[in-house]
Structures are given as C-alpha cells and as structure tokens.
Amino acid sequence: MGQRNADSVNVEGNTVLGNAEALERLAAQGRDHLSDLSAEEERPRRRAAIDGFFKYAQLLREAASGARPARYSFKLEFPDGRWDLLEQELPTEPRVGDLVWFDGEPWQILGHETVARRPSAANPHQFLACAPAT
C-alpha cells in the first residue's frame, strides 16, 4: 500500500492542489525574507530558486485542474508608468497574489480591471492587472 506524506494538504479531495498551495505559501515566505539575507550576492540565486518553486506550483495547479485552458487578458504595469496588454492561455483563472510568467519573468496579479468599450460600454474589457514580482 502507498504511503501518504504527512505534510500533504487535501483541498476538496485534491492532494496535488493542496500541495501546490502549500508550496506557494512557503515560496512567498521565502520571497518575503530575501531582504534578511546578509550576503548581497546570495539574493539573486535565492530569488531564482524561489521563482522556480512558484513555476513548479503553477505546474502542479495545472495538473490538478484537469480543466481545459482558457485565454486571459493581462495588463502588465511597469514601475515607470508604462503598461502593456498580453494574453495567455491558462487552465484556471489566476487569483490576486498569484504569479504568472511572461518572457520568463514573474508578474504578480494585483486584481481585476474593467475598461469600457467604445462606442458602447455594455460589454467592458476585463483585464488582470499585474506588476513585476519582487
């Protein structure tokens, strides 16, 4: 009989999804403590490792969902005030705080943004606003 890891988290009957959420929480804690590192040269290496954990958690989520991917629109908001609109196909809609990757760089979801269409505002554009993950 298989042995279950005692650290597995079961989310609505899905251990893989629970593990993805636990991994995301731990990676977020690691990201929050990057500034505590005394060796400046250690930060980029540790940040890259943490980004790898977030990517792996995203893969776990995709595997756990079994859902058909959908296209989502993203507004990438740069620190200097510029912005760009991109689309990406994902198995589930990202939530506030989640990370998504564009051109190999992590972006954090800030929230939903609605922009009225012209000439009729009946069906507004829906975007997920993102900022570069730090």
CB atoms within 10 A of CB 77: 17
Please give the Cα distance from 132 to 79 (Å, whole number): 8
- Count of alpha carbons within 13 angstroms of residue 74, beta-carbon side: 27
Please give the Cα distance from 78 to 76 (Å, whole number): 6
Q: pTM to 2 decimals?
A: 0.52
C-beta separation of 99 from 108 below 8 A: yes
| pLDDT at residue 80, as a whole number | 96
Residues with Cβ within 8 Å of residue 118, at least 6 apart in sequence: none
- Which of 92, 95, 100 lies closest to 66 in space, CA to CA? 92
Enumerate the domain spans of the chain: 7-66, 67-134
pLDDT tens digits, the chain, 134 residues: what are they? Answer: 333 333 444 444 456 777 888 888 888 888 888 888 777 778 888 888 888 888 888 888 877 776 677 899 999 999 999 999 999 988 788 889 999 989 888 999 999 998 887 777 678 889 999 999 87
Task: Using CA atoms of 109, 70, 25, 129 in order, give the dihedral in degrees to the nearest 10.
Answer: 0
